[in-house]
Amino acid sequence: MELFRYAMSVYGQDQLLGANWDLIWWFGGAAAIYIVVDAACRPFLGKNKRKTLVNAPNDGATVRRHHLIDRLYHWAMAISVLTLIGTSFAPILDWKFEWVTAHWIAGVSLSLLVVYHIIRAAFWQDIWAMIVTPADFRVAFATARAALGRPDEAPLKPGKYVLLQKAYHWMIAALVLGLMVTGLTMWLKIDTPFWNRNPYILGDDMWGLVYTVHDFCAMSVLALTMIHVYFAIRPDKWWQNRSMFSGDIARKDYFAHHDVTRWAPDDV
Amino acid sequence: MIVKDVMPNFDLFQPKQLKDAFAILDKFGKDAWKMAGGNDSLAWFKDRAKRPKVVVDISGIAELKGVKETSDGGIEIGALTTLTELSKNPIVRAKYRVLADAASKVASPQIRNTGTLGGNAAQDARCWYYRYGLPCYRAGGNTCFADTPEGVNREHALFDTDRCVTVNPSDTAPALVALDAKFVVRGSKGERVLSAEQFFIGPKIDITHLTSIKPEEILVSIRIPKDWAGARFYFEKAAERNSWDFAMVNVAAAIVVSNGVVERSRIVCGAVSATPKRLPAVEDSIKGKALGDDIAKVAGQTATRGARPLNYNKYKIPLMANLVTRAVRDATA
C-alpha cells in the first residue's frame, strides 16, 4: 500500500502530490472496526460500571451542561465538517458534482468558528474543564478496572468531561488546525471574490507537503467523525448527548456521573 | 527532462465484439486504455505522458460503425464511423450538414480517414502543459501551469474555468451539441443515454476528464433527433493553419426559421471552455426576429458576455464575437 501520491516533475523526478486516496478505506475501516468492537464489548464491560454509578434520586430537576451559544457553535461546526467531508471525499469516491465552492466556503466557515471557539473558551468558558490532568487518568483507570470486574473502585468520577472526551477534543483540535492552516494556504490557489489565484506563493515540494498534511488530517477527521457520530447516537449516552439539543442533563445523572468538586455548574 | 522515446510496453487487446471489450475493461479497470482511431492515444503513448498497462483497441468492432436512420426520423451514428465517412455520408449531408462540415474540418485528410466521430468528440485536452506530461490538475496534480502570470495560455479558455483552464478542442462536439445529440455509452452493467450537458463535463465537475464516460464504458453511438433536420446550418473553424490544426475558436449553429423569423436555434462555440459552450443568451436574442446584419451583430456582442480572458487569449473575444455574428448572418439551409 502506497502512502503517498507522486507525479513526475519537470526534472524527471518524483514530486510529492499528497496522500494516496486509497487510504480513505483504511482510515474509514479502522474507525468502523473500532465502532464494531466497542459496540460488541460494551454490553459486557458496562454492567458493573452502571451498577455503581447510578445512585442519585430521580427528582426531574436538570443541570445546564451546554449554553445555547455553545450548542449553536457545535451544530454550525458539525454542518461545516460534514460539508467538508462530503465535498472532499464524495468526488474522490466517484460521485461527481461541483464541490470546490461549497468546500472552500465550508472551510472558511469552520476556520471562523474555530477562531470564535478559541476566544470564547479562553475568556468566557472554563478552559480547565478540557485540560487533561492526572486526576483524569486516575478516573479512567478506576473506571476501566470497574468495567473489567472491580466495581469497588468505581466511585471515582470525572469532572465535566471524561479522559476520552478530552483526548478526542484535542485530537480533533490538532487535526482541524492542521486542516485550517493547509486549507487556507490552498485557498490562495483558487479564484475567489477577494483575490485571483496565485500558485507560486510556494514551490512544488512545499505544495506537496501542504497537500499531504491536508489529506492525512482530512482522512483522520473522517475517522474521528465516524466515531463521534457513533457515540452520539448510542442510547446509553443519551443522558448526556441530549444536552447538545436541550442544553441540560438530568440532575440525577449529574450526581451519578460527575464529581461535583471538579464540575460545579451555576445552577447546582 | 521527460523522456520522449518509443512507446512504453503495454498489453494490446483487439476485441471484435463489444461484450469482449467490456470483459477486458471490467477485468483491468482503470489500468485499461480505450483506443479507437489512435490519433490521440498514440501521441500520448509516444510522449510517454500516459503509460497504460493495457490498451484495448476497439477499432475492429463492426457494430460500432456506420450511419443509420432511426424509426423516429433521426439518425444514429456509430462511434467508430470515421470522420471522412461522416463528412461524405449522404444522409448526414442532406439532413445535418453542420456535422458533415465540422467533420470535414478536423485535422488532415489522413487523420480524418482513421479518426472516428466518437474519438473526436471525446478527445482529451490539448493544453501543452498537460500534454507534455506535467503534473497539472488535469493530470492529477496540484496546480495549473497555464493560468499563471507567466503561463502560455493563448489557446485556453474564456469561460467556466475552475482551477484548470483548458478547452475542449473538438470540432465535431459543437456541431453535435447544436444538433441536440444524445450520447449512448454502454458497459457490461448497462447503457446510459446522455445529453450533451451530461456527456461533456468541465473542471468544476471532474478536473481530470472532459467527458463523463467511465473507465469500464465505451461510447457506442451518437443519436441525433429529427428536430433539427434541414435547419439552417453554419460551421466555421478559425485556426492558425488551414490544415491540421486545432481550433482557436469554432462555431456551430442550427437555426429554424419560420415565417421569416427565428423560431428556435442552438448556437455553440468550441475551444472557449472545457465543454462546448452553448450560447442561450444569443439564442434568446435572435428568437422571433428576422435574421439580418443588425441582429447578427447583436448576437455576436451577446456571445462573449461573461468571458474572463487570460493573459494571452484576449484575442478570442472578438474572434468569437465575429464567428457568432457570421453564424447568425450566414446560416443557410
pLDDT tens-digit map of A112-145 = 999 999 999 999 988 888 999 999 998 888 888 8
**C-alpha–C-alpha distance, residues B83 and B99, integer Å:** 10
Beta-carbon count within 10 A of A135 CB: 14
Read off the CATH number of the domain in which A75 is found: 1.20.950.20
State how far residue B204 is from chain A, nearest Cα, in angstroms. Answer: 5
pLDDT tens-digit map of A164-223 = 999 999 999 999 999 999 999 998 887 778 887 788 889 888 999 999 999 999 999 999
Give chain A positions within 8 Å (CB) of B206. 91, 96
Residue A129's nearest CA partner among A156, A161, A164, A158 is A161
The answer to whether A5 contacts B140, with C-beta atoms less than 8 Å apart, is yes
The dihedral of CA A158, A163, A169, A173: what is its sign? positive
Q: Which fold has domain B11-60?
A: 3.30.43
What's residue A50's pLDDT?
46
Beta-carbon count within 10 A of A97 CB: 12
What's residue B31's pLDDT?
93
Among A8, A98, A189, beta carbon nearest to B143: A189
> Would residue A35 count as lying in a domain?
yes
pLDDT tens-digit map of A1-37 = 799 999 877 677 888 999 999 999 999 999 999 999 9
Q: Which residue range forms the structural domain that includes residue A102?
A: 23-257
The three-state secondary structure class of B55 is strand
The answer to whether B163 contacts A9, with C-beta atoms less than 8 Å apart, is no
* Alpha helices for A148-237 (secondary structure H): 163-187, 204-233
Residue type, B55: V
What's residue A11's pLDDT?
72
> Would residue A7 count as lying in a domain?
no
What's residue A91's pLDDT?
94
Q: Is the pLDDT of residue A54 over 60?
A: no
Among B139, B148, B163, beta carbon nearest to A190: B163
The structural domain count of chain A equals 1
The answer to whether B134 contacts A211, with C-beta atoms less than 8 Å apart, is no
Q: Label the pairing between strands A62-64 and A248-250.
A: antiparallel
Contact predicate B247/B123, CB 8 Å: no
> Would residue A267 count as lying in a domain?
no
What's residue A46's pLDDT?
58
Residue B33's nearest CA partner among B19, B17, B49, A15 is B49
B37 Cβ under 8 Å from any chain A Cβ:
no
Written as nine digits, the cell of B229 is 433536420
Contact predicate B22/B216, CB 8 Å: yes
> Would residue A266 count as lying in a domain?
no
**ipTM attached to this prediction:** 0.80
| Binned average pLDDT, 10 residues per bin, chain B of 333 residues | 74 97 95 95 88 96 96 96 98 97 96 97 96 91 88 96 95 98 97 96 95 96 96 97 91 96 98 98 97 95 96 97 98 90
What's residue B254's pLDDT?
98
Residue B39's nearest CA partner among B97, B103, B92, B115 is B115
The answer to whether A7 contacts B135, with C-beta atoms less than 8 Å apart, is yes
Residue B172's nearest CA partner among B183, B158, B163, B161 is B183
CA angle B102, B108, B113 (to 5 degrees): 85
Could you tell me how far CA B31 lies from the centroid of its own chain? 24
pLDDT tens-digit map of A68-79 = 999 999 999 999
B318 contacts: CB under 8 Å, gap ≥ 6 = none
pTM of the model: 0.86
